[in-house]
Amino acid sequence: MTQPTRITALPRHRDAGRRLNVVAGGAGFIGSHLCRALLDRGEGVLCIDSLQTARPSNLAALTGHPGFSFVRHDITAPLPASVLAEVPRIHRVWNLACAASPPLYQMDPEHTMLTNVVGTNHLLRLAERAGARFLLTSTSEVYGDPEVHPQPEEYRGHVSCTGPRACYDEGKRAAESLVFDYGRAGRAQVRVARIFNTYGPNMDPGDGRVVSNLICQALRGEALTIYGDGTQTRSFCYVADLVAGLLALMEAEFDGMQPVNLGNAAEITVRELLDQVVALSGTQARVVHRPIPVDDPRRRRPDLDRAAQLLGWAPRVPLSEGLAQTWAWFAAELQGELKARPAQAAE
Ligand code: UDP
C-alpha cells in the first residue's frame, strides 16, 4: 500500500555541500546502519522508507542529524516530486528497501515482488536521471536451497519459482536482471551485493529471524524455537562488517557488472547458534521444535573470494563477539518490557 509522502526533516544538507545519497529502506535494520555510516563520512542522506517493516526508533536516531532528511514513500509508486527535486545533488542511490524476514515478506507476497521489481526500476530511473551510481542489495536467497557449497557468485541457484519464498527470491533475481540491463545499456553505473544472513543492533525484535527470535526468547525467559531439527546451517555476518562491505562495493572502481557476495563464511548449525545464545543468557532454556518452513535452505555459506579480490574486504567480527553486542543491545531494547513483567521461569 502506498503511504503518504512527506519530508519530516528539512534537507539541510543542501547548504552543507554534502554529496547526497538516496537510501531506500534507510529506516530498516541494515539501512539505518548504512545511513549512519554515510553521515559519519560527512555525506548527505535522503532516506526513503515506507516504514512498513522499519523500526521508528531507527529513524528517530537519525533525524536530528543535519545531513539527514526523510521521505515516507513506498517505492512501488513513482517517486514523489520532493525526491525528484534533489536530482542535481544525487550522487549515489542505494536500494535496501524490502521486507527481508521470511514471515514478513510472505505476509504480502505481491507487494514483496513489486517492491523488488517495480521499486527497483523506479530507483534505477532516478539514478539514470541523476547520473548517480546505483547499488542493489540482493540476497543469498538468489541461490535458493543450494546444491553447490559454499556458494560462489557464478552459481545460478536452485530456487523454487512457485513456493512461498519465490516472491522474495525471484523478486530479487528479477531486480538483479533489471540492474544489469541498465548497466549493460550504459544507463547507470551499477553494483549488486548479495547479502547473506546478517545480525546486530537495530534488528526488529518481532522480525522473526533466528538471531532476534532466540535472543528475545532467552531474554524473556520463553522457550527457544528451532524450526526442524536444527541441523540446517547459516553463516552469520555482523552488521558493521556488512555495511563496510557495502561501502567498499559502492566505491570500488570496477565495471560493476558482476554481483558480489557479502557475508561471513563461518558456518554453523541453528542448533549451535542456539547453544551460543543459551551460553550468553547464563541460564538453562527450554527448546521447542517447530515444523521446518517450506523451501527452507539446508545449508548456506558465502564464497567470499570475489569480495576479497575486488574490494579487499573481509568480515572481521567473530560470531561470539557480535552475538554478545547484539545480546546487550536487545537487553537494553527490551528493558522496559522486561521490568514491567517478571521473566517466566525457564521450564
Ligand atoms: N529458524 C529457527 N528458529 C527461529 C527462526 C528461524 O530455527 O525462531 C531457522 C529457519 O528455519 C532457518 C534459519 O533459522 O533455517 C535462519 O532463519 P532466518 O529466518 O533467520 O533467515 P533465512 O531463513 O532467511 O536464512
* 177-225 pLDDT, tens digit each: 999 999 999 999 999 999 999 999 999 999 999 999 999 999 999 999 9
Query: Which atom of ligand 1 has the smallest separation from the CA of 300?
Result: 25
The arrangement of strands across the sheet holding 44-49 comes to 68-72, 44-49, 20-24, 90-95, 133-139, 190-195, 260-262
Closest CA to 238 of 131, 314, 161, 132: 314
2 pLDDT above the threshold of 90: no
pLDDT at residue 3 greater than cutoff 50:
no
115 alpha carbon to ligand 1 midpoint, in Å?
22
Residue 168 is a catalytic residue: yes
pLDDT-derived band at 339 (thresholds 50, 70, 90) equals confident
CA dihedral 213, 95, 300, 278 (to 10 degrees): -20
Question: pLDDT tens digits for 25-43?
Answer: 999 999 999 999 999 999 9
Mean pLDDT over 41-48 rounds to 97
CA 173 – ligand 1 centroid, Å: 21
Does 17 score more than 70 pLDDT?
Answer: no
pLDDT for 347 equals 39
The answer to whether residue 298 is domain-embedded is: no
The CATH number of residue 83's host domain is 3.40.50.720
Give the residue from 197, 190, 192, 230 showing the smallest Cα distance to 212: 197
Nearest CA to ligand 1 atom 14: 210
pLDDT band at 6 (very low <50, low <70, confident <90, very high): very low
Residue 307 and residue 271 in contact, taking contact as beta carbons nearer than 8 Å: no
More confident residue, 336 or 150: 150
Which pLDDT does position 174 carry in this prediction?
A: 98
- The pLDDT, as a whole number, for residue 12 is 47
Task: Report how far ligand 1's centroid is from the alpha carbon of 224 (Å).
Answer: 12
C-alpha grid cell, residue 32: 539505518
Nearest CA to ligand 1 atom 12: 296
213 lines ligand 1 (CB under 6 A): yes
Mean pLDDT of the chain, nearest integer: 93
Cβ 97 vs Cβ 115: under 8 Å: yes
| pTM of the model as a whole | 0.94
Beta-sheet strands, E only, within 78-221: 90-95, 133-139, 190-195, 198-199
Q: Is residue 249 part of a domain?
A: yes
| Model confidence band, residue 4 (pLDDT cutoffs 50, 70, 90) | very low
Task: From 139, 203, 234, give the residue whose CB has the most ligand 1 atoms within 8 Å, as the site to mutate.
Answer: 234
Instruction: Check whether 9 has a pLDDT greater than 90.
Output: no
**Cα–Cα dist 37/192, whole Å:** 19
* 342 located within any domain: no
CA 130 to chain centroid, in Å, comes to 24
Predicted confidence band of residue 18 (pLDDT cuts 50, 70, 90): confident
Q: What is the tens place of the pLDDT at every residue in 82-138?
A: 999 999 999 999 999 999 999 999 999 999 999 999 999 999 999 999 999 999 999
pLDDT at 336: 87
Asked if residue 277 lies in contact with residue 215, where contact means CB atoms within 8 angstroms, the answer is: yes
Name the amino acid, one letter, at 325: Q
- Nearest-CA neighbor of 194 among 123, 252, 242, 158? 242
pLDDT of residue 343: 52
**Structure confidence at residue 209 (pLDDT):** 96
Dump strand ranges (E) for the chain: 20-24, 44-49, 68-72, 90-95, 133-139, 190-195, 198-199, 224-227, 233-235, 237-238, 260-262, 267-269, 287-290
Q: Give domain status of residue 31, yes or no.
A: yes
Which residue puts its alpha carbon closest to atom 18 of ligand 1? 209
Q: Which of 270, 286, 301 to mutate to test the pocket of ligand 1 (most atoms within 8 A of CB)?
A: 270
Check residue 340 and give its pLDDT: 85
pLDDT of residue 1: 38
Residue 73 placed within a domain: yes
Within-domain flag for 86: yes
What is the extent of the structural domain holding 98?
A: 20-199+237-262
Total count of domains within the chain: 1
Has residue 214 been placed in a domain? no
Q: Quick check: 248 pLDDT over 70?
A: yes
Cβ atoms of 224 and 286 closer than 8 Å: yes
Q: Which atom of ligand 1 is nearest to the CA of 232?
A: 15
pLDDT digits (tens, 9 = 90+) for 231-244: 999 999 999 999 99
Q: Is 234 in the pocket of ligand 1 (CB under 6 A)?
A: yes
Q: Which of these is catalytic: 143, 168, 182, 238?
A: 168
**Contact (Cβ atoms closer than 8 angstroms) between residue 199 and residue 161:** no
Would 26 be classed as within a structural domain? yes
Q: Is residue 49 helix, strand or coil?
A: strand
